[in-house]
Chain A
Amino acid sequence: MLELISFFQNLSNGILIGAVYALIGVGLTLVFGVMRTINFAHGDFVVLGMYFAVLLNSLLGWDPYLTLILAVPLGFIVGAGIQKYLLSRVIDEKHESMLLATLGISLVIANLLLLTFGGEPQSVHVSYSTSTLQVSDVRISVVLLLAGLATVVVITLLYLLLNKTEIGRAIRATAENRLGAELVGVNTKRIQAIVFGLGMCLAVTAGVSLIPLLFASPVTTGALFTLKAFVVTVLGGLGNIGAAIMGGLVLGVVEVLGASYLDSAYRDAYGLLVFLLVLLLKPEGLFGKTVKRV
């Protein structure tokens, strides 16, 4: 019985942390769907969100979730700006140019954060950071639950945007066939800027909801999240949003279960191993439909 309780405990933790991974992965996969390229700076966008919350909390005493009011619009503007003024110049070249350009952006962001905030890991302490909810015998951390809820809200909004609005339709058209979308009058350059902005919004939101839970440090955290985002998206199949959500949940559960039943020192390795296996055996992803090589 006790084992069963601890199993459900781990499972709920895994699903909640997986929801945040899903949020990070959805941003990456959305960008991949439209640009057909991997954004290496995605994890650093998450870290930017974390530091934004740290900054506003230490200056104004804002709760991390309150900072979202500013973080989301700012994230959109910065993301769209990066696409419009920087990446749009290389998007038609080989996919590697785009990959390397985002790698460059990642290094610039990480090192600018290091210059501004120093190398000490930082976090935001909130009054509810240790409180838990009791569901029968399973304890659920409030911070994790909020992060999970944020994911559900954001992904629902994204779903509505993509499926119920004209811009969403243009985004889906561009992802499916860029030339075709252009032929029917979609301004794909504008769509790409919007999508990159949206991707950054998602990353920043994930960062803000993670900061009461995790420490942010400029260089290492960004790389870690980029890696996790890759794992999530490849698990699900690149470019497929629904699958990225499943990928995130799978990663969260695999990590938490692996850490508690096998060896916790290898927490990050389990995800990587599953990632590699999926990449080699089923490159279209666990939940992908078609094989589309870039």
Chain B
Amino acid sequence: MNRNYTILLGLVILAALFPVVSSSYITVGLTVLMFTGWASSWNILGGWAGQLSLGHATFVGLGAYFVAIGASQFELAPWWSILIGMAVAGIMALLWGKLTFGLHGPYFTLSTIAIAEMVRLVAINEGWLTGGATGVFIDYLPEPFGIDLFDKTVQYYLMLAYAAITLLITIFISTRKFGYQLKAVRDNEEAAMAAGINPTAIKLKAFVLSAMLTALGGGIYGIFLSFIEPHIIFNLLLSVQIALTVIIGGRGTIWGPAVGAAVLIISGEVFRTVFEQANMLVYGILILVVILAMPKGIVGEYAHRLIRRKYANRA
């Protein structure tokens, strides 16, 4: 029916075999999958709906905090706390969007930074709510069917499931009316309105979906970290990292986020010994290269060339 579903199935099988082949790079694989998931979630709002958000770390943090506080204070199983975290993220995105979707272009981007920074400051300062600036430690997790959730391989498969879900939803949206509505709003809001689309409603839907999926990944990330510090998880740089992953890979494409995640995380890993903490240098250089040489992103540019070749052959 759709070639993309077949590609996804193939990729999932390959990724599922990865821990069997190479157990030493399992954390790298997990990180690639995590960023694939976050980037695909961001892509729904930032790519398909064209709203450049630099505040998505907020939803990562929400997801992670609900898991950590649920586990450490209420002995709540992570699947329940992740669901609660996703619901809260969704409600928050709804309010956030209602407040700021009147702003356009750079003004919207600035407002996302401002809100995300305020959330970070609250998380650092309100100790009773978050465990304070020192962070929360997850010391207890249940063992469903005897599976140890602290095990890295288990966490890898959780992330694989997460990345697969976000990609599945992206492919699904791309063929649906909602996907076309998103693109219409991105390309020209006035024209979309003339065609009977309510741009704000569409953007709100995209934001809520994007936020909930980001929080889902944040929850699994919380399990992986098992120690959560507010100034790290709500950091502006994490939001920037997620956004740049999509833009380098290709905004508004299905496979762009995954390609971006693979390229950035793997090159970050290769240069880790050279750059040490200055790991974001790779992001800076690559975004400049992409902006100057291939403004549609790696996947976008590739697809563009394929189409051109197709038409050239036909003519």
**Chain A residues at the B interface, C-beta cutoff of 8 Å:** 37-38, 86, 89-90, 93, 95-97, 99-101, 103-108, 110-112, 114-115, 119, 219, 223, 227, 230-231, 234, 263, 265-266, 268-269, 272-273, 275-276, 279-280, 283, 293-294
Contacts and interface: CB of A to CB of B under 8 A. Distances in A.
Interface in B71-87: none
Nearest to B284: A107
Interface in B97-122: 99-100, 102-107, 109-111, 113-115, 117-118, 121-122
- Of B103, B110, B121, chain A has the most CB atoms within 10 Å of the CB of B110
Given A276-B118, A283-B103, 4 more contacts: A86-B288, A107-B283, A293-B105, A294-B105
A219 B247 CA distance: 22
A100 B124 CA distance: 28
Interface residues of B, number: 41
Contact of B287 (A107, A272, A275, A280): A107
Main secondary structure of the interface of B (DSSP, over half): helix
Contact of A111 (B103, B111, B240, B280): B280
Interface string B240-267: 1000100100000000000000000000
B106 A99 contact: yes
A227 B117 contact: yes
Main secondary structure of the interface of A (DSSP, over half): helix
Nearest to B293: A89
Contacts of B110: 38, 230, 234, 279
A111 B237 contact: no
Interface of B: 52, 99-100, 102-107, 109-111, 113-115, 117-118, 121-122, 124-125, 236-237, 240, 244, 247, 275-281, 283-285, 287-288, 291-292, 295
B115 A276 contact: yes
27 contacts: A38-B109, A38-B110, A93-B295, A95-B105, A97-B295, A99-B52, A101-B292, A104-B285, A104-B291, A105-B288, A106-B284, A108-B288, A111-B279, A114-B277, A115-B281, A223-B236, A227-B114, A230-B110, A234-B107, A269-B118, A276-B115, A279-B110, A280-B100, A280-B102, A280-B111, A283-B103, A283-B107
